[in-house]
Amino acid sequence: MSSSSTRRRRRVWRFSDAEFDEASWALRVDGQVVVLEGKPLEVLHELLLRAGEVVTKQELLEAVWPGVHVVEGSLATAVSKLRKALGEPREAIIETVPRIGYRLSGPVTSERIEAPIAARFDFRPDEAVSGRPQWRLDRPLGDTGAQDVWLARHTKTEAQRVFKFAEAADRLRSLKREAALSRLVTMGLGPEAPVPLLLEWNFEEAPYFLEYAFGGDDLTVWANAAGGLGQISLEQRIGVAARACRAVAQIHGLGILHKDLKPENILLEEDASGLRLRLADLGSGRLLDDALLDSLRISDPAVLEASPGMDDSRSGTLAYRAPEVAAGAAPTAQSDIYALGLILYQLVVGDFQRPLAPGWEADIKDPVLREDIALASEGVPSRRLASAADLADRLETLDERRKAAAVAAERAAWLEAQEAAEARRSARRPWILAAVASLAAGLVFSLAFAFYALHQRNEALAAQRISEASYRFIAEDVLASVNPNEAASAEETLVEAIIRSAETIGQRFEDDPLVAAYLYGILGRAFDLRSDYTNAFRYYEEAQRSYVRAGAGGSAEALNTRLQFAGALALSTQPGSLERARSIVADVEQLSAGGQRLEPETRVWLNSAQGMIALVGEDVPVSRDHFQRAY
């Protein structure tokens, strides 16, 4: 990526046999540079910007002598010098419109040119600042090559200051704009404002300058001092990006756009309170909301008004310019967010020269960060993040969002597995007998597992009784009630048969409530997995009542069923269900706290229910911890 910061975009105006270059602020006539004072050239610039139109005397006075009371004679003198410089017969192209103003007549063309910037000043290290002899220039800052920003040191205290210079009227206007915006930010946000403190300025005679307190080194210097961005931890780089987003959000909150965000305009300084980040160079900035002027009682905002050529879509550094701005649209807060997205990307990959070229996603392994960069640098402004504060929030909660994404991925994998199982079941639905046999086998397996578990607890006789009774229930009640010739589908027939048969459990096993409890529990779990919460809740509740009748309300099997019920309650998200789930879990936790030893399987279901409750309650970190323990 070639940085545009070492190049200057300019317009070259051509009219008659004359040429005016904005960058060098030079007028050429017949190819020869004409020596002319600054004010006549400023008048020419204003007339060129509105070629063919009448520019009033008042408009010219306000543009060329802003904030200064001058008589009309000063304007007439400037026009006279300009006509003389153009020479005959070109002087006639500047027409006088009596009692109104002036007009530049004849064809005018302009061409945008990008060319290397030559140093604007012949400053040397250790040279005294003009008008500030106690300050000596130390070294130029930035990579523009213009050498218009210098670090200076006090001759006695060695304190540091930054001076930003301008040599001509077009640059002076930018300097005044930057001074006004810097003061607005400081006044609006107070001592903690994220900009260097503006201490002094000189707008009276060249070289004009702004004098700032030292605000720290820019990001490129910070990276180079560490041996490269790659030598700085990713966590620290992301922290800097979050701070930059927060700083931009603050100035946006005042109604101010930066419009030239790039690593060279983001400063870092270590002070007593830690690492401070500041935004430099508001010379391209723009005030969007006059409410700030009203709140600060500023009555003359002329210097902040968008002047021709300064607030157009080509201001700012090309590499960090949002696509819509490059296409000619007016800059907005979304344009600054785009630049932040690119800076975030470069910080993450560890290279300030890396562009957001197609395929950039392959450079970002972290899917959460990849999403953040994509949303900030989205090509369509309306699909970009709504604010710089949104991006700051996302970066400041990366760890929590990564955990949530992991839980969501696990949940998605589980749902995918369930959908695959459902697809397999759907493929078998035309074969009703096979479907019936499959469910029956599942029930038998569940009962056989229960038999094995009870056998391990030296309750083989009771387990055998439960198992035999359950077999009879499946064979005599469930399977015998299925009528495949009258059903629309195998699954509907089987479900209806199970529900019909379940109505007989209480009566059939009236003398053996433990068997009833097992059957109700298995049915509750089966409907739970189908997300049929109405039937699931009914059978879970019947299971609890049956365990109590059997005198086994505190058994491991009863607790397991209750905790399965709690998980279903939480997942259902029905009104009041989450509180019921919490109540069940609290009861089991109280048993454990009271000294009752929970079986390992019961602890699995307890952690599973706790995880589901936390997930529904949007406490993702706690949810993840419980699910991991359950696993």
Of residues 153 and 415, more confidence is placed in 153
Residue 121 domain-assigned (yes or no): no
What angle in degrees, to the nearest 10, is found between the helix axes of 367-376 and 333-349? 150
Does one domain contain both 532 and 556? yes
How many whole angstroms separate alpha carbon 440 and alpha carbon 628? 32
Strands in 108-116's sheet, in edge-to-edge order, are: 32-34, 26-29, 18-21, 7-15, 108-116
- Listed range (13-17, 75-79, 211-215, 440-444) with the worst mean pLDDT: 440-444
Residue 313 is predicted with a pLDDT of 42
What angle in degrees, to the nearest 10, is found between the helix axes of 72-86 and 57-64? 90
Does one domain contain both 388 and 529? no
The β-bridge partners of 161 are: 152, 213
CA–chain centroid gap for 546, Å, is: 54
Task: Report, as an integer, the average pLDDT of 116-140.
Answer: 82
Domain boundary among 113, 146, 171: 113
> In the chain, what's the furthest Cα-to-Cα distance?
123
Task: Report, as an integer, the average pLDDT of 451-457.
Answer: 45
Reported as a single tens digit per residue, the pLDDT across 468-480 is: 565 555 544 554 4
Q: Is 312's pLDDT higher than 50?
A: no
Residue 527 is predicted with a pLDDT of 83
Does one domain contain both 158 and 18? no
Does one domain contain both 426 and 317? no
Q: Is 25's pLDDT higher than 80?
A: no
Residue 118 domain-assigned (yes or no): no
With bands split at pLDDT 50, 70 and 90, how would you rate the model's confidence at 319? confident
Compute the half-sphere exposure of residue 379: CA atoms within 13 Å on the CB side of its CA.
4
Does one domain contain both 229 and 142? yes
Does one domain contain both 622 and 560? yes
Residue 53 domain-assigned (yes or no): yes
Residue 529 is predicted with a pLDDT of 83
CA–chain centroid gap for 211, Å, is: 34
How many whole angstroms separate alpha carbon 293 and alpha carbon 58? 23
Q: Which domain holds residue 19?
A: 4-113
CB 12 within 8 A of CB 19: yes
Residue 455 is predicted with a pLDDT of 44
Does one domain contain both 381 and 235? yes
Note every long-range contact of 284-287, with CB atoms under 8 Å and residues 24 or more positions apart, other chains counting. 284/174, 284/258, 284/259, 284/260, 284/310, 284/315, 284/316, 285/177, 285/178, 285/181, 285/256, 285/257, 285/258, 285/259, 285/260, 286/256, 286/257, 286/259, 286/311, 286/331, 287/181, 287/184, 287/255, 287/256
What angle in degrees, to the nearest 10, is found between the helix axes of 57-64 and 38-49? 130
Provide the terminal-to-terminal Cα distance of the chain, rounded to the nearest Å: 49
CATH at residue 523: 1.25.40
Residue 305 is predicted with a pLDDT of 47
Reported as a single tens digit per residue, the pLDDT across 340-373 is: 999 999 999 999 999 988 899 999 999 999 999 9
Residue 301 is predicted with a pLDDT of 44
Residue 206 domain-assigned (yes or no): yes
Residue 375 domain-assigned (yes or no): yes
3-state helix, strand, coil in the chain (%, to 5): 55, 15, 30
Does one domain contain both 190 and 145? yes
Q: Residue 207: which of 333, 88, 89, 38 has the closest Cα?
A: 38
Domain boundary among 396, 417, 433: 396
Q: Quick one: which H or E segment has residue 367? A: helix 367-376
Reported as a single tens digit per residue, the pLDDT across 63-78 is: 887 656 777 888 999 9
Reduced to 3 states (helix: H, G, I; strand: E, B; else coil), residue 552 is: coil
Q: Is 443's pLDDT higher than 60?
A: no
Q: Residue 556: which of 448, 445, 472, 459 has the closest Cα?
A: 459
Mean pLDDT value across the chain: 81
What is the value of pTM for the model shown? 0.53
Task: Report, as an integer, the average pLDDT of 309-328.
Answer: 69
How many whole angstroms separate alpha carbon 543 and alpha carbon 506? 10
CB 555 within 8 A of CB 601: no
Task: Report, as an integer, the average pLDDT of 26-34.
Answer: 88
Return all residues near 154 (Cβ < 8 A) that are at least 6 apart: 134, 135, 136, 160, 161
Residue 89 is predicted with a pLDDT of 77
CB 241 within 8 A of CB 364: no
Residue 122 domain-assigned (yes or no): no
Does one domain contain both 545 and 511? yes
Pairing of strands 274-279, 217-218: unpaired
Residue 382 DSSP one-character state: G
User: Can you tell me which residue has the tokens 């930018």?
Assistant: 174
Residue 499 domain-assigned (yes or no): yes
Reported as a single tens digit per residue, the pLDDT across 514-563 is: 888 888 888 888 888 888 888 888 888 988 898 898 888 888 888 888 88
Residue 623 is predicted with a pLDDT of 81
Reported as a single tens digit per residue, the pLDDT across 31-57 is: 888 888 878 888 999 999 888 899 999
Residue 527 domain-assigned (yes or no): yes
The β-bridge partners of 110 are: 13
Q: CA quadruple 347, 353, 359, 362: dihedral positive or negative?
A: negative
Does one domain contain both 134 and 260? yes
CATH at residue 387: 1.10.510.10
Q: Quick one: which H or E segment has residue 583? A: helix 577-593
- Listed range (23-32, 244-253, 416-425, 567-576) with the worst mean pLDDT: 416-425
How many domains does the structure of the chain reveal?
3
Does one domain contain both 422 and 569? yes
CB 349 within 8 A of CB 302: no
Residue 194 DSSP one-character state: S
Does one domain contain both 153 and 240? yes
Residues of the chain with pLDDT > 90: what percent?
Answer: 34
Residue 483 is predicted with a pLDDT of 54
Residue 256 is predicted with a pLDDT of 92
Q: CA quadruple 326, 328, 330, 334: dihedral positive or negative?
A: negative
Residue 449: phi and psi, rounded to 5, are -60, -40
CATH at residue 95: 1.10.10.10
The β-bridge partners of 18 are: 15, 29
Domain boundary among 79, 113, 147: 113
Residue 128 is predicted with a pLDDT of 93
Render 399-421 in DSSP notation, one character per residue: HHHHHHHHHHHHHHHHHHHHHHH
Q: Is 235's pLDDT higher than 90?
A: yes
- Listed range (185-199, 340-354, 567-581) with the worst mean pLDDT: 567-581
